[in-house]
Every structure is written in C-alpha cells, then in structure tokens.
Amino acid sequence: MVSLSDGAMNVAAAKMYFHNHLSVRDYYAQDESLANGYVLGKGAEALGLNGNEITAEQFDRLLQGRDPTSGAVLRAKATHGDTERAGWDVTLSPPKTVSIQALVAGDRRLIEADRQAAIRAIHEVEPCALSRQHGGSQWVQTGNVVAVMFEHHEARESINGEHGPMPQLHHHTFIANLTHRPDGQWRGLDPDQIYKARRFIDAVYMSELAKNVQQLGYQIVRGSDGTFELAGFTRKQIEAFSERSQDIERIETERGITNPRAARDIRLETRKPKREHDAAALRAEHQALAAEHGIDLSYRPTTPVHTFAISPEAQAERSFNFAIRLKRAEYVGIQSDILTNGKGNLVWLKGSIGTLKSRPNGIRKL
C-alpha cells in the first residue's frame, strides 16, 4: 500500500523526521545503507547523489533547497503561506504476510523483492513532477525528483499488545521540494499531479511486488481492492502479527469514525514512541508466536509462479481499445485498474502502450 503525507512537511518537522525516526536502525535490519537513507531519482542523479547514502548534513541542506554536497543555494526559500515547505513523505508497505515470511521466517529474498518494487514505484512518480516558470504563470513538466528512501522492518508497538513492535517491512521515501527544470534551473516541486497519481503509484508498487514474489515461487491470493497476501496464511495468523492495526480499527469502530482525516488522527494518537528492545529476545518471541499459530517458518519455494488469467497482450488490447475513448485522466485510471486487478505488470503495460500507439488507429493522442 502507498500512502502520502497530509500536505508538505516544514523544515523543522523534516529534520526531526530524519534524526529521530527514519535513520534509526530496526532490530531486523541488516543492510545499513537502506536504514541510513538511499538517494534516488533523476534529480538526485543531476546532483551526483543517485544510489548513494545520505548524511545528516546533506539531508539538512536538501531540506533548505541547497546542494547537498557544496551547500550552494538551488532554489529560493519555498513558502506556502507562512510555512517553508521542505518536502513530502511517501510510505510504501507490503502485505503483512510478506513481512512475516521475510522477517520472522527469514526468507530475506522477499526483502529485496519489496525493495525493488518500492524503488520502481518511486521512479514512476517522476513523470508527475511539475514546477513553474515565467514568474509562476506557466506550468512545466520537469520529470525528475530528489528522493531519499529509508527502509524499516518494524511497526510501532501496539498500545495494548504483549509482543513488542511487530515485524513490518516498509519504506519511507522523502521527496524533497526541489526539481530540475528543462531550462537547467532548480526550483520548488509542485506535487499536485503526484497526489492525483497516488492510485497509479500504488498499483505499480503492488503489481511489481506481486510479480517479484511469484518469481521467487510464492503463490498469492488477491483481494478485491488490488491487494494480495501470500497463499497459505489464515486470517487469524495475519491478525496475530497485526496488533497495531487492530488497535486502530477498534478505536475507529468505537468512535464511529469513517472520515479519512479523522482516521489519520487515530494513527497519530495511538503511535507509541520507540523504545529499546533486546533484538534476539524479540526475534525469539516472534518465532514463538508464529509457531503458536501454526506458521511454517521453514517454507522456501523455488519454482516461479505465473497466475495471469489471460495473456498480458490480450488484456492490454482489450483495455486500451476502451481507453482510447476516454480522457487522459481516465486513461491513467485504466492503467491503474489493469495493474491493480493483477492482469499484468508495468513492463508489458508500457510495451503494449507503445505497440498500440504505433498502429494506424492506435492511441497516439494519449
């Protein structure tokens, strides 16, 4: 699942975000580069940072619109009202069964599978990047972002739980308020189209992750909303490792909350601060909990699985024959639907668009 922060973070909040939360290593983490921050995006590449770790000093400079290496000013102070906008948080979280199998059962191939899906999804953010030019009177598509990805392996503790923080793979990705215009100037990023494309970015992430875990040999069970779980897990087993989610759902039910903004407030209200735990003891406790609920921690599939109901090519043509009659916004929604419903993945989706565009009666205008 992909979620975006409720508006931009200011510089002070973003500094706290890095120093007190994102750069803190989890108990299950073994790759420190992802815990410390991994820089990606075409904007980062233009700054000479793509694929590298980022230091606290470099991150602070980035928040202020400065070159992370030289400290040179790249953009003027970016304000929105009285607030200087530093950037936005995108969080990518896999299904709970992926976290259980990766972190408790120890199939670390799934960590890499999730990591690559998250990176792919963030790259798909870039075509949505906009800025302004000519004194703010004209929009321009920049096609690049500067993003810093932090990998975490645990959820916050439950307010009523008895097992410490539960295993939960997720990637926080900070997208800086900075983008490189076609004229060579650095300016503030306008995230409007990124927010509008959230559904598509989510579909890319889940589709890529589903493809990756199936290539490892895992069967999946798809939900009606485009999510999936690894096959072989029961609802009770999933709930045993979802204590914080149950806290939130219980309070929402008790208070009759249905509004998304109010639901976000509940997440903040029930968010316990991190505290120290003995890593070995926590792993042993999680393994015992898995055994108690009948989870086979030794399972390691190796034969790739493919579950397309019809060929990707046939589904692409069926969908795009319909899409050519739609406006561009609806066309993007069609792409999301194809990925969400498990009818294909991003590689063949883009390939099919190119093939259909090349036909005399294709989709040249989309």
Element (H, E) at 140: strand 138-141
Answer whether residue 153 is part of any domain: yes
Give strand ranges (E) for 155-219. Answer: 167-176, 179-180, 186-187
| 241 lies in some domain | yes
116-137 residue pLDDT tens: 999 999 999 999 999 988 776 7
Instruction: State the catalytic residue, choosing from 17, 28, 38, 205.
Output: 28
Same domain for 231 and 360, yes or no, is no
Q: What is the pLDDT of residues 6-59, one digit of tens each?
A: 889 998 888 887 776 555 555 455 554 455 688 999 999 999 988 788 888 899
Residue 186 CB-density burial (10 A; 0-12 exposed, 13-18 middle, 19+ buried): buried
State yes or no: is 299 an active-site residue.
no
Model pLDDT for residues 32-45, shown as the tens digit of each residue: 445 568 899 999 99
Number of domains composing the chain: 2
Q: Dump pLDDT digits (tens) for 59-89.
A: 999 999 999 999 999 988 755 556 789 999 9
> Does 195 participate in catalysis according to the annotation?
no
347's tokens: 């590689």
For the segment 340-361, the average pLDDT, to the nearest whole number, is 54
Tell whether 163 and 273 lie within a shared domain. yes
The Cα 78–Cα 62 span in angstroms is 12
The pLDDT score that the predictor gives to residue 75 is 87
Please tell me which residue in 17, 27, 38, 331 is annotated as part of the active site. 27
Q: Which domain holds residue 340?
A: 308-366
Query: Could you report the per-residue pLDDT of 245-281, keeping only the tens digit for each?
Result: 666 566 667 777 766 666 666 556 555 556 667 788 8
Which residue carries 């709970």 as its tokens? 96
Q: Do the Cβ atoms of 62 and 156 come closer than 8 Å? A: no
pTM (two decimals): 0.80
- The reply to whether 303 falls in a domain is no
Based on the fold, state whether residues 121 and 256 are members of the same structural domain: yes
Q: Are 218 and 301 in contact (CB under 8 A)?
A: yes
Asked whether residue 271 falls in the same domain as residue 211, the answer is yes
Indicate whether 139 and 17 sit together in one domain: yes
- Which of 273, 298, 323 is a domain's end point? 298
Residues 99 and 186 reside in one and the same domain = yes
